[in-house]
Amino acid sequence: MTTEAEIIARIENGVGRITLNRPKAIHALNRPMCEVMTQALLAWRDDAAVTSVLIDHAGERGFCAGGDIRTLAESGAGDASEARAFFLAEYRLNHLMFDYPKPITAIVDGIVMGGGVGISEPAAIRIATERTTYAMPETGIGLFPDVGGGWFLPRLPGQTGVWLALTGARLKAQQTIELGIHTHYVPSDQIEALKADIVNGGEPIAVAERYDFRIPPGLSDHRAAIDRLFAFDTVEEIFAALEADGSDWALAQLAVLKNKSPQSLKVSLRQIRTGARLTTFADNMAMEYALGGRMVRTHDFQEGVRAVIVDKDNAPKWSPADLSGVTEATLAALFAPLPEHEQWTPLP
């Protein structure tokens, strides 16, 4: 019995191709997948015969649903060593892509969440389709929007990154294109032709522009409200602003937030505000690495995974159960720098 490779990496006519090939799990990333992608990208980086990179996925369920959360929770229930090893490999891959000297095209067709954002957002060309659904839903499982979320989200227009980080809102292509999360919209029935044109020697950005369909914005009606109501530096102030606003939309956002982990909400807001002030992507990844290794060991992450992934009762019992229980001391401990010999570093 043979097992299919979870990552298919090859060179086709000067294009380095990476295909995610774990369709039953919607290509959820594990450490070996990250390591194979990293090895391929390193090999192609200095290969003059490779002019660009194309990342896509097998099957039709989605691009990548995130990281292998169940494995992270099992590790976090112990010493978290495997979780830290995964984050080390994943974040080094994210950073390698962010600084890659050759154009990367990511075909984000279908679901793209969490870790899937981490391996598509650093790409120069990010192509969405009518099947694209984007989200950073980590506050619903006691985590935070990692894989570079602390860098990318605060650099979205206005306060939309804060809104996405806290609520885990799911966006379709109209909204992601409007915010610049994805760069081009191509109908799914045109994707194979687009990929063929790139592999046959087309310059990736020119090909993407040729296939791009202009679509109307999909978030404009709520942009002013997002920028006004999510502009605060504490979650308590955001809750109060939403309640005081009183509109159906604002109260709907408040109801969503009240179901999220209070600890994750405060961690995620601090992550976004801190990431906005950082000057390099590497500094952001170092912050997220220290944070991730601690968060997977918390009650809320273990409980969130139980409720959403394991038992699927969607009724997590958060602890602390409300915002007032998440103290400044708790946040300071979670965000504290690691000892120098334990800190995250980019690939040499």
Strands (E), 159-229: 184-185
pLDDT at 2 over 70: no
Say which CATH topology domain 137-168+221-348 has.
2-enoyl-CoA Hydratase; Chain A, domain 1 (3.90.226)
The DSSP H or E segment spanning 239 is: helix 235-245
Strands (E), the chain: 7-12, 15-20, 52-57, 62-64, 104-108, 111-113, 125-128, 133-135, 184-185
Longest dimension (CA), the chain: 61
Angle of the 328-335 helix axis to the 262-277 helix axis, nearest 10? 60
**Class in CATH terms, 1-135+172-218:** alpha beta
pLDDT (tens digit per residue) in 82-117: 999 999 999 999 999 999 999 999 999 999 999 999
The DSSP H or E segment spanning 256 is: helix 248-258
- Structure-block tokens of residue 192: 């194979």
The answer to whether 226 touches 74, Cβ cutoff 8 Å, is no
SS3 per-residue string spanning 52-89:
EEEEEECCCCEEECCECHHHHHHHHCCCCHHHHHHHHH
Map out the domains of the chain as residue ranges: 1-135+172-218, 137-168+221-348
Q: Could you give the C-alpha distances from 142 to 100, 131, 151, 230, 261, in angstroms and in order?
A: 32, 27, 20, 20, 5
Enumerate residues 6+ apart whose C-beta is below 8 A from 169.
Answer: 135, 163, 256
- Structure-block tokens of residue 309: 């992934």
Active-site residue set: 67, 115, 138, 146
pLDDT (tens digit per residue) in 175-213: 999 999 999 999 999 999 999 999 999 999 999 999 999
Q: How far apart are CA 7 and CA 18, in angstroms?
A: 7
pLDDT band at 174 (very low <50, low <70, confident <90, very high): very high
Q: Do domains 1-135+172-218 and 137-168+221-348 have the same CATH topology?
A: yes
Q: What pTM, to 2 d.p., does this model score?
A: 0.96
So what's the pLDDT on residue 1?
Answer: 42
The answer to whether 176 touches 182, Cβ cutoff 8 Å, is yes
pLDDT (tens digit per residue) in 306-340: 999 999 999 999 999 999 999 999 999 999 999 99
